[in-house]
Every structure is written in C-alpha cells, then in structure tokens.
Amino acid sequence: MGTLTFSLNLTLDGCVDHQEGIADDETHAFFTRMMDDAGAMLWGRVTYEMMEGYWPAVARGEVEAPPAVREWAIKLETKPKYVVSTTRPDFPWTNSHALTGDLRTAVQGLKEATPDGVLLGSGQLAVALDRLDLIDDYRFLIHPRIAGHGPTLHQAGLGATRRLERVSTTPLTNGAIAVHYRRAG
C-alpha cells in the first residue's frame, strides 16, 4: 500500500497562500522531484480549479515559463489526478478523476491502489484526512516569509495533536527549508 503524503508551501507564520512563497526554478524542481516519486496527485475541488486554470496552458506552451516550471507542468499533465468534491461531478483536465463516496473508504482505496504513494496538495482536504488518520507523511517547503494573513495551515483545527518524527531537513539556496516528517508510532 502506498503512503499519503501531505505537501504544501507555507510561510514561517503558517500561511498557505500560494502567492506568498518563492516560485523559482529551485522550488519547482523540488516539487517536480516529489511528484515524480508519487503515483498520483490528490486535491480538493478548489485546488483543482486553481491548477486547471493555469498549468495545462503552461504545458502546451501557451504561457511563457522558465524550463523548471514547464517541466512541472508537462509532468503534471500525465500524472493521475484525483479530486474530492461534493459540488462538481466532472474533471476534464487530462488524467483527472473524481474520488467519490465515503471519504475514508475512497482515500484508503486510492492508497491501496497506488503503491508509489499519493501526493496531497490541498489544505482543507488535508485537515479532513488528518482527522481520519489517513496522512502518513508531511513534506513542507517553509519559505523565509512572514505573511501576516491567512489562510493558515490547519486553521480549522484538529481533534488531537499529531506527533511526528523528522525524516529529513534540507535547506534550499533560495532560503526555503524542505522538511519531511512521518507520523510517530
């Protein structure tokens, strides 16, 4: 069975607004490597819609982009993408699929069917999955910024504190720090 890895950019004060991080070649290369290692992507509807409105155009060359950004976009096109939504039934972007039914059962089934693991990149969905004890790993890119606004990581709260074990910490030359934690026990 594959692992479910929650991965996101965040600032030092926990802001997960995608516009607050450093979007350079090094950051995109970091996330491309992580995506290469995963068997599938998992998003909520809001994240999916944000992504589908930009990345396919980059992959097709319709948007000017540096090589590392274009590489991410091209690889994202072919990666299986699963979307959790109660309001939207269809997801026409290449290799996109609706994940329906009971959330715990659907995500557990996706983990079992994806031995290379699933990369989760949606903050609100992560809270729901964390409450169901389905997240195995946490991989964050912490940017040297204090945003002073939200949205923030887990702002909806959890029922209990998550105890984690550090797997690795890697500084990037742009000042960000990649941290990898695994659930303790």
Supply the pLDDT for residue 172: 97
pLDDT of residue 107: 98
Rounded Cα–Cα distance for residues 24 and 9 (Å): 13
Contact 47, 8 (CB under 8 A): no
Contact partners, residue 96, CB within 8 Å, separation at least 6: 48, 52, 81, 82, 83
pLDDT tens string 147-181 = 999 888 888 888 888 899 999 999 999 999 999 99
Identify the pLDDT of residue 156. Answer: 80
Confidence of residue 18 (pLDDT cuts 50, 70, 90): confident
Answer yes or no: are the C-beta atoms of 68 and 31 closer than 8 Å.
no
Amino acid at site 33: R
CB atoms within 10 A of CB 183: 15
**Segment 11-31 mean pLDDT:** 90
Mean pLDDT, range 15-26, rounded to an integer: 89
Mean pLDDT of 62-88: 93
Query: In which band, very low, low, confident or very high, does the pLDDT at 30 lie, cut at 50, 70 and 90?
Result: very high
119 pLDDT band, cuts 50/70/90, is: very high
Pick the range with the lowest mean pLDDT from 17-31, 47-61, 91-105, 132-146. 17-31
- Asked whether the predicted pLDDT for residue 128 surpasses 90, the reply is yes
